[in-house]
Structure 1
Amino acid sequence: MRIIGQEWYLEYEIHKNRPGLLGDISSLLGMLGINIITINGVDNERRGLLLVIDNEEKTTRLKNILDTMDNITVTKFRKPKLRDRLAVRHGRYIERDADDKKTFRFVRDELGLLVDFLAEIYKVEGHKLIGIRGMPRVGKTESIVASSVCASKRWVFLSSTLLKQTLRTRLIDDEYDPDNVFIIDGAVSSRSTSEQHWQLIREIMRLPSTKVVEHPDLFVKQNEYSMDDFDYIIELKNDRNEEITYEAVHRDPEFETFE
């Protein structure tokens, strides 16, 4: 049966996690006629719920009742954002830079969360430019490809070192489809002196499609693009304390300059 109504994201912090607390809240939602789509812990002491509420009166009554509950504090009650949906799905929040809101951080054991995050971005039509920073062999390319599969998108490499070093100068007709995900390795492209390769990149940049650039900081050094052109920046590390540097990239034999 199709559920009709507006989706809401409710998140609350637990002060005293007594037995039956979740049952009380679930019962409250049931009595108000509010449907629960998903429940999950999103932090050690926080729980998130995706709800469907079919009228504004129920929304107001729920807010008022929750404000009277001593064991919890409501931290979010809003129309769900992508990060909210993924937090409930995966049981953790994506780390976001406090100052640069377009930068999101992941570690290698969060590849499933990263793939899901990218896939949801890919599903939105139109131009999107995504940069992914990370050390060699941390999982950047595999995450990009896996998220393309998850979003049912075809991926096209313009430059890559996935199997062997690739530097495209032209595409066949069906590869220009704006529904494709175009992948650029900034470390490879930045070393290319091929005008045909850069002309192809410019053509793809003008398409209303998703473009993903590995090593975006290297990519913007050799052309007219800047970091301001990126809609999302992803940082993928082996652990939270790892520093992303480009010395290791330059030393990697896979990135030898094309002859």
Structure 2
Amino acid sequence: MEKTEWYLEYEILINRPGLLGDISSLLGMLSINIIMINGVKHARRGLLILTKDDLQIERLKTVLQTMDTIQLIKLRKPKLRDRLAVRHGRYIHSDQDDRKLVRFVRNDLGILVDFMAELFKKNEHKLVGIRGMPRVGKTEAVVAASVCANKRWVFVSSTLLKQTVRSQLIKGEYSPQNTYIIDGIVSKHRANEKHWQLIREIMQLPAVKVIEHPDIFVQATEYTMEDFDYIIELRNHEDEEISYKDLERNTLHHNQGFM
């Protein structure tokens, strides 16, 4: 029988010596292996566990629910956010009303890169939007995530080095192995029809597309925010407001370059 991964999370109610040892012994008696363990939030612990028999998970759940020293929070097949929580020792912030919206601050760049790299690994259509003020690290994080996912990045429109708006790709750039990066503000204000035709072609590829400033991008296209699989917000600090008024004005003052 093939082994299955599960995510276990519990909150410590009575922090007594030997508590983790008791839980580890319980898992051992049920032939459940611990892959990774870490604190994920205050008094909470998260574990990635592995078992051949899913019935043992039901037995584990029953026993854990009778313990007065802990409270069982989650016992489920691991989601991407679960894996990252155990790996980095903290949760990534998500919106309670919009589960596709995730938030990071600049100090979280390592977690952000790891998060996006996991999204980029599959050769399939995935549309990711990323919001943030200039020089917060949006493009650099996308490039780093592409490297981690063993993907090549292709700038379709960008202001990273100079303002670039492409109207065609060269041979080899049409590939599911690529991450396509589009700056929504640059495309809206500087693009010609050939550029938009290129974007429509790219959108049909089974590949990852990352749109910087997605709110501006949807204003100029037939796409909506509902078409995005994830919306990522990156701030210098938690209280920073992401404003497009000055952002668009600054972008319009850049030099234009066509390829």
1:206 and 2:204 aligned: yes
Work out whether residues 6 and 54 of structure 1, in 8 Å CA contact, stay in contact via their aligned partners in 2: yes
The one-letter code sitting in structure 1 at the alignment partner of 2:86 is V
Within 2, Cα distance between the matches of 1:123 and 1:53?
Answer: 25
- Give yes or no for contact 1:159–1:184 (8 Å, CA) kept in 2: yes
Structure 1 residues 101-132: Cα deviation after superposition (integer angstroms, max 9, x where no partner): 11111111111111111111111231111000
> Scaled by the length of structure 1, what TM-score is found?
0.95
The residue that corresponds to 1:191 in the other structure is: 189
**1:113 matched to 2:114:** no
**C-alpha displacement of 1:210:** 0.6
Helix, strand or coil for the counterpart of 1:40? strand
Equivalent-residue separation in structure 2 for 1:120 and 1:8 (angstroms): 18
Q: Deviations over 1:19-45 (max 9, x none)?
A: 221111111111221100000011011
- Aligned residue among 191, 209, 221 for 2:219: 221
Contact 1:191 1:258 in 2 (8 A): no
Q: CA deviation at 1:253?
A: 5.6
Query: 2:4: which partner in 1?
Result: 6
Q: Deviations over 1:60-92 (max 9, x none)?
A: 221111111111101000011111111100111
Corresponding residue number in structure 1 for 2:170: 172
- Alignment correspondent of 1:56: 54
Cα shift at 1:247: 2.5
In the comparison of the two structures, how many residue pairs are matched?
Answer: 257
Displacement of 1:168 after TM fit?
Answer: 0.7
Q: Which residue of 2 aligns with 1:248?
A: 246
CA displacement, residues 227-250 of structure 1 (integer Å, 9 cap, x when unaligned): 121111001111111111112312
Q: In the TM superposition, what are the counterparts of 1:32-43 in structure 2 within 5 Å? A: 32-43=30-41
The structure-2 alpha-carbon separation of the partners of 1:139 and 1:104, relative to structure 1 and needing over 3 Å to count, comes to same
CA distance in 2, matches of 1:213, 1:56: 40
Matches within 5 A, 1:58-207: 58-207=56-205
3-state DSSP of counterpart to 2:72: strand
Contact 2:189-2:252 at 8 Å conserved across structures: no
Determine if contact 1:192/1:257 at 8 Å carries over to the other structure: no
Unaligned runs of 5+ in 1: none
TM-score by length of 2: 0.95
